[in-house]
Amino acid sequence: MASIKFNLNGKPQTVEASPEMPLLWVLRDVLGMTGTKYGCGMALCGACTVHLEGNAIRSCMTAVQNVAGKNVTTIEGLSSDASHPVQQAWIELDVPQCGYCQSGQIMTASALLAKNAKPSDADIDEVMRGNICRCGTYQSIRKAVHLAAEIKAKGARA
Amino acid sequence: MSTTTITKLKPEPPKVIAPNLIDNFSRRGFLGAAGGLILGFVLPSKSAAQQVGIPPPTIFAPPPTGKPMAYIHIAPDDSITFWITKSEMGQGPTTACSQMLAEELECDWSKVRVQVAPVDPASFGHQTTVGSQAIRTTWVPLRTAGAQAREMLTQAAAQRWNVNTSQCRAENGFVINTSTNAKLSYGSLAEDAAKVPVPANVKLKDAKDYKIIGKPVKRLDTRAKVTGQAQFGLDARVDGMLYAVVAHCPVFGGKVVSFDATKTKAVAGVKDVVQTSRGVAVVADNTWAAMQGMKVLTVQWDEGAGANVSSASIRQMFVDRTKETGGIARKEGDAAAGLAKAAKKIDAVYEVPYLAHAPMEPMNCTVHAKGDSVEAWIPTQSPTTARAVIAQALGIAPEKVNVHVTFIGGGFGRRGEGELDFVLDAAEVAKQVKAPVKAAWSREEDMQHDYYRPASYVELSGGVDADGWPSVLQAKIACPSFGQIRDGVDSTGVSGIANIAYSMPDILVDWREAKTIVPVSYWRAPGNNQNVYFLECFFDELCALGGKDPLEARRHLLTQNPRNARALNVLNIAAEKAGYGKKLPAGHFHGVALHPGALNAQIAEISIAKGKVKVHKVVCAFDCGQVINPGILRQQAEGAIVFGLAAATKGEITLEKGRVVQGNFNTYDVTRMDESPAIEVYIVPSTESPVGAGESCNPTILPAVVNAIYAATKKRIRKLPIRTMNLA
């Protein structure tokens, strides 16, 4: 066991956990933040995606000791009121079906838009292909990423 | 944690409750704490199956022996709560069932709140969400309930104004006095309304008057699902809860002989190791510790006879079985004679592998055994049976088990009636651990201990007449049973081919069981997901044999029977919208397929590069009767196509030494974003009774793609998944 400190959703967080424990399980079981999902445990499906220093990472393969002193953002911290452009777009287009993968989809999409304000379909495919949606919401996700880019651009101009 | 609670009811005692339900509610304590007014409605005991295919009656008389199945709660603040008995796994009953209730209730949609109903057979009947039946089984009952409530509220208003009900109109949550334009809100009328006898006959609206049914109302569960707040089974948390991971014998049918937990118990956080009827469970204070403990657990398994079974041995058994006589599923004319006299004929063997469901949320269940009662959080399609499983395992009456049905992270048939092994695991662990426990499966465990889509093998023969039209089809199917054998035929095992719609003089479809050790069950569109591929691809072979265009031959053989009008219509719409027969970009080809049993036709546009198929676009025309929510319907069609595409291009579960070879998404991959085609869905406007939508479109995409590959390469893919080497 170790005491590990990092910033979680903008606030300092200390956890007592095995340093090897993946961030996913620290979030879910130790901190009770269940918005981040377990899907494969091998960074194959993207359901566990969170932001580490703004980059989309797979929390199921990231030992908690590797986030010490860093900034972690989860779906719960993306916005307090579903107001992030990606969440707005997801709501506008009713993207989710079962919804289980959508936290990961949204975290990957929001990290993409932070780096690429106007991604093409090919850009979206390349980045989002790491996130499985078994319900098959891909077409809606593709549209929603474009819409989120528009919402973000409007927000930036306003 | 009762989940899907979009709003909480105020903890006030109920003021008025419909007399037929008050005892039931107070006894269970389920709604005893709910505030405001609860209207319960006696609904028909007529089985859902009886209603399928029967046009909805406009006047409906509930028999006095009927079971109450739907609840509307109108609170004094005018908020309206609907209790939904169908499990939400993405297919949208939370929203669509609410639309049906709200349509007839004439309430303010913005004030509708939804709660998941608890398991209560006395009130809700047998709760299960399978077979694409959520809408068709509630179509009449829910609208009737809404209409009854509207009628009772209207009568209450008429009494208060001392006028005839003909002077009152219900609209948007108010009853309006048409003479004076005075208005009374539903909330203000609810108490009096509950004293009005439940009307025996109510008139349901004509489709032309719908305000909510058929409209693209936003899903009620979206916000929860984009903020991480939606509670799935795996998200259940109870004070003092422990986390278990389970392992089952790698070989189907095997069992535990003994285990050595010495190393496991040395893992920090591990609390216990317990044996279950089907395996072992490591219990810890977090999932990771339990997983680490499982890795070092030494289990001696008795693998049993299954250890000799492989995919090759199973296939050989299928081949052998097809030589034996099968039960006859469909017979028209004389297939043997038809083959003998055909101008040209062809034989082919088609086969498909086992498939895993692989929902994104692996199997899990949380059970808190509290001595004389149990709380359980279950992501299940079949909560009534799940409750019985827990009750039996814990030796307690089912009424003492309070089931919280959570959001489900993908069902696809994995979490229904016959597939509740994950519930049993949790109950057996909870029985041995003196704490609430969540028993979860790893992805590998989930993939290697599924109830699989059965592998299937079929010998097909067919021929064309002198004019080149397909005239005879013979299909000899060998596959595991879905447990529905009657007169030697498993009805699900032949579904999608025995109901062939093409008019041919000679047809024979027969079926024989091929038993294996591999557990099988329903997988989105069971039967159809293999048989529509067999039929539609082999029919394409017959078209080519006769020199006929695949679309023209289908039209020709559908036109001959007026019962096929709707099937022909979707085929024509798909062809027109896809621009079938018109020039495509260089290297692009169309494939056509029809799923007559589920009234959708699809045209896939593909190209092939480096031996790999790329599906560019899919046009789907779909007729499912009256549409409740076109947005959700489109989602279901799109999603099913993506789901079916994985079965066409990737999915395969194989066995070696009785074990499933695949374990995670690296060895059992599914469709991903870059492989997902542009999908256009065209919905046929209809006022026919609604039929299922969730499982309609995944079978059709397989033959659409495979037939397009033929158009591109002149190669027939008779064995799935499509392999790169076959396209080189």
Q: Which of A134, A141, A142 to mutate to test the interface with B (most CBs of B within 10 A)?
A: A134
Whether B235 and chain A come into contact, CB under 8 Å, resolves to yes
Test B226 with A106 for CB contact under 8 angstroms. yes
Res. B2: pLDDT tops 50: no
**Domain boundaries in chain A?**
2-78, 85-157
Question: Closest Cα of chain B to A1: distance in Å?
Answer: 8
Distance (Å, whole) CA A127 – CA A131: 8
Whether B631 and chain A come into contact, CB under 8 Å, resolves to yes
Per CB-CB distance under 8 Å, the chain A contacts of B229 are 35
Mean pLDDT of B205-232: 95
Tell the CATH topology of B16-220: Aldehyde Oxidoreductase; domain 4 (3.30.365)
Res. B30: pLDDT tops 60: no
Pick the CATH number of B312-354+452-727 from 3.30.365.10, 3.40.50.970, 3.90.400.10, 1.20.1250.20: 3.30.365.10
Q: How confident is the model at residue B78 (pLDDT cuts 50, 70, 90)?
A: confident
Mean pLDDT of chain A: 97
Return the pLDDT at B64: 28
Closest CA to B438 of B282, B279, B585: B282
Distance (Å, whole) CA B305 – CA B455: 20
pLDDT tens, A59-73? 999 999 999 999 999
Per CB-CB distance under 8 Å, the chain A contacts of B243 are 29
CATH number of the B233-304+363-440 domain:
3.30.365.10
What part of B 242-281 touches A (C-beta under 8 Å)?
243, 268-269
Test A76 with B228 for CB contact under 8 angstroms. yes
Of chain A, the percentage scoring pLDDT greater than 70 comes to 99
Question: Closest Cα of chain B to A143: distance in Å?
Answer: 11
Q: Is B316 exposed, middle or buried (0-12, 13-18, 19+ CB in 10 A)?
A: exposed
Test B665 with A45 for CB contact under 8 angstroms. yes
The answer to whether the peptide bond before residue B721 is cis (omega within 30 degrees of 0) is yes
Res. B57: pLDDT tops 60: no
* Fold equal for A2-78 and A85-157: no
**Chain A residue closest in CA terms to B359:** A134
Domain A85-157 is classified in which CATH homologous superfamily?
Answer: [2Fe-2S]-binding domain (1.10.150.120)
pLDDT tens, B600-624? 999 999 999 988 999 999 999 999 9
Return the pLDDT at B1: 33
Phi-psi region of B718 (alpha: psi -120 to 50; beta: other; left: phi over 0): alpha
What part of B 646-665 touches A (C-beta under 8 Å)?
664-665
Q: How confident is the model at residue B141 (pLDDT cuts 50, 70, 90)?
A: confident
Which helix (H) or strand (E) segment holds residue B680: the answer is strand B678-683
Q: Which parts of B162-198 fold into alpha helices (H)?
A: 186-193
Of A1, A35, A132, the CB nearest to B670: A132
**Chain A residue closest in CA terms to B637:** A136
Res. B52: pLDDT tops 60: no
Token pair 């004030």 in the structure block, residue: B111
Mean pLDDT of B524-532: 97
CATH architecture of A2-78: Roll (3.10)
Q: How confident is the model at residue B726 (pLDDT cuts 50, 70, 90)?
A: low
Res. B285: pLDDT tops 70: yes
Residue B303 has a CB neighbour count (10 Å cut-off) of 18
**Chain A residue closest in CA terms to B618:** A139
Res. B524: pLDDT tops 50: yes
What part of A 71-130 touches B (C-beta under 8 Å)?
74-76, 79, 82, 87, 90-91, 94-103, 106, 124-126, 128-130
Of A36, A75, A94, the CB nearest to B219: A94
CA B408-B411-B412 angle, 5° bins: 160
Mean pLDDT of A76-97: 97
Residue B381 has a CB neighbour count (10 Å cut-off) of 28
pLDDT tens, B630-673? 999 999 999 999 999 999 999 999 999 999 999 999 999 999 99
Q: How confident is the model at residue B115 (pLDDT cuts 50, 70, 90)?
A: confident
- Show the tokens assigned to B477: 């199917």
Res. B63: pLDDT tops 90: no
Amino acid identity at B725: M
> What is the signed CA dihedral for B120, B121, B122, B125, rounded to 10 degrees?
120
Whether B129 and chain A come into contact, CB under 8 Å, resolves to no
Mean pLDDT of chain B: 89
Helix/strand/coil (H/E/C) assignment for every residue in A46-103: CCCEEEECCEEEEHHHCEHHHHCCCEEECHHHHCCCCCCHHHHHHHHCCCCCCCCCHH
Per CB-CB distance under 8 Å, the chain A contacts of B218 are 91, 94
- The answer to whether residues B451 and B521 touch, using CB atoms and an 8 Å cutoff, is yes
Mean pLDDT of B59-87: 62
Mean pLDDT of B490-514: 97
Distance (Å, whole) CA B31 – CA B22: 9
Test A42 with B664 for CB contact under 8 angstroms. yes
Q: What is the ipTM of this complex?
A: 0.98
**Chain B residue closest in CA terms to A2:** B268
Distance (Å, whole) CA A43 – CA A64: 15
Q: How confident is the model at residue B728 (pLDDT cuts 50, 70, 90)?
A: low
Q: How confident is the model at residue B113 (pLDDT cuts 50, 70, 90)?
A: confident
Q: What is the DSSP letter of B564?
A: G
Res. B568: pLDDT tops 70: yes
Test A34 with B235 for CB contact under 8 angstroms. yes
**Whole-structure pTM value:** 0.92
Return the pLDDT at B12: 27
Residue B229 has a CB neighbour count (10 Å cut-off) of 15
pLDDT tens, B4-24? 222 222 222 222 222 222 222
pLDDT tens, B447-482? 999 999 999 999 999 999 999 999 999 999 999 999
* Side-chain-side CA neighbours of residue B703 (13 Å): 29
Question: Closest Cα of chain B to A158: distance in Å?
Answer: 24
**Domain boundaries in chain B?**
16-220, 233-304+363-440, 312-354+452-727
Whether B541 and chain A come into contact, CB under 8 Å, resolves to no
Question: Closest Cα of chain A to B250: distance in Å?
Answer: 18
Mean pLDDT of B689-716: 96
What part of B 38-97 touches A (C-beta under 8 Å)?
88-92
Res. B133: pLDDT tops 90: no
Distance (Å, whole) CA A68 – CA B544: 65
Question: Closest Cα of chain B to A151: distance in Å?
Answer: 16
Res. B412: pLDDT tops 90: yes
